[in-house]
Amino acid sequence: MKISVIGTGYVGLVTGTCLAEVGNDVLCLDLDASKIRILREGGIPIHEPGLLEMVQRNVAAGRLHFTTSIEESVAFGQVQFIAVGTPPDEDGSADLQYVTAAARNIGRHMNEYKVVVDKSTVPVGTADKVREALQQELARRGVDTEFSVVSNPEFLKEGAAVEDFMRPDRVVVGADDERAVNLMRELYAPFNRNHDRLVVMDIRSAELTKYAANCMLATRISFMNELANLADKLGADIEQVRLGIGSDPRIGYHFLYPGCGYGGSCFPKDVQALIRAADSIGMPLKVLNAVEEANETQKRILLEKIKGRFGADLKGKHFALWGLAFKPNTDDMRAASSRVVIEGLWAMGATVTTYDPVAMTESRRIFGNDPRLAYADSPMDTLNNADALVIATEWKEFRAPDFEAVKAALKNPVVFDGRNMYEPARVKAHGIEYFAIGRR
Residues with active-site annotation: 266
Task: Please count the residues of the chain.
Answer: 440
SS3 at position 66: strand
- Kind plus residue range of the DSSP H or E element containing 218: helix 203-234
Amino acid at position 89, single letter: D
Separation of alpha carbons 123 and 125, rounded Å: 6
SS3 at position 130: helix
Is beta strand 2-6 parallel, antiparallel or unpaired with respect to 79-82? parallel
Nearest to 121 by CA among 158, 148, 150, 84: 84
DSSP characters over 328-373? TT----TT-HHHHHHHHHHHTT-EEEEE-TTTHHHHHHHHTT-TTE
Separation of alpha carbons 386 and 414, rounded Å: 10
Nearest to 392 by CA among 327, 295, 345, 323: 323
For residue 318, list its beta bridge partners: 351
